[in-house]
Amino acid sequence: MLPLAEAERQLRTLPGVLDVRIVPSETGAVSEVHVVTTMEVTPKATVRNVETMLKASLKMSVDHRKISVATSNEKPRAQIEAERNVAAQVISAPTPVAPPAPEPLKNPRLYFEDVEIQRSMAKGVTVRVTLRKGDQSFTGECEGPESARSRVELAAKSAVLAIAKVERNAAAFVVEGCKLIEAFDREFMFVGISVRMGRETALLTGSCEIKDSPETASVLAVLDATNRWVSRI
């Protein structure tokens, strides 16, 4: 049985989302995800946001074909509430009151958006990772020899390069290695990242269950290891 109520609550916090309804199957798994959004976010971006949120926060892997998005010209809830508050103040006070400015999002987290793998006879394999922070996307790219282990490590290094474009101190991150671990009849990707702390070196570790691909799990493991660190920067 999946935490569907908690999943709906978290999905409503995504940019542009007005309402969410998750339809469970007879077994309690996710059968359909229906999302209503404003026109400020494209349906394709919303589907990616929903997939990433469910996978990163709740370890729920949902096929994008199960996610349907409807757009509405309705204003976001925060804007509606702000306008209602302003209207109430105008009625009760002789002088007009300006609507309170929305507070900026304090240090929003990085989220996984995409991983691309390109093969060529000359370069071997190129792995490009795209991460999202707020409304902006950042990419990192690495090249190397073609092998299953190489692709996983290139994905981790590309994720670190993308993080370095966002967080000023992330340039000190160094991928120590990636390792596939079997536990509880499942496969997990375990990543180690070293970072300088003054004269000392700390080891950050992260893990993620492999559900989509080893490369995707490698990127999510990097985010698991570094999100707690970069939030302190």
**Contact (CB, 8 A) for 215 and 152:** yes
Per-residue pLDDT reduced to its tens digit, 152-188: 999 999 998 888 887 766 667 888 889 999 988 889 9
How far apart CA 113 and CA 12 sit, in angstroms, is 18
Count of beta carbons in the 10 Å neighbourhood of residue 2: 18
- The per-residue pLDDT for 188 is 93
HSE (side-chain half, CA atoms, 13 Å) at 211: 16
**Contact (CB, 8 A) for 111 and 133:** yes
* Residue listed under structure tokens 């707690």: 228
* Residue listed under structure tokens 């990127």: 219
Domains and CATH numbers, the chain: 4-71 (3.30.300.30), 111-230 (3.30.160.270)
Q: What is the model's pTM?
A: 0.51
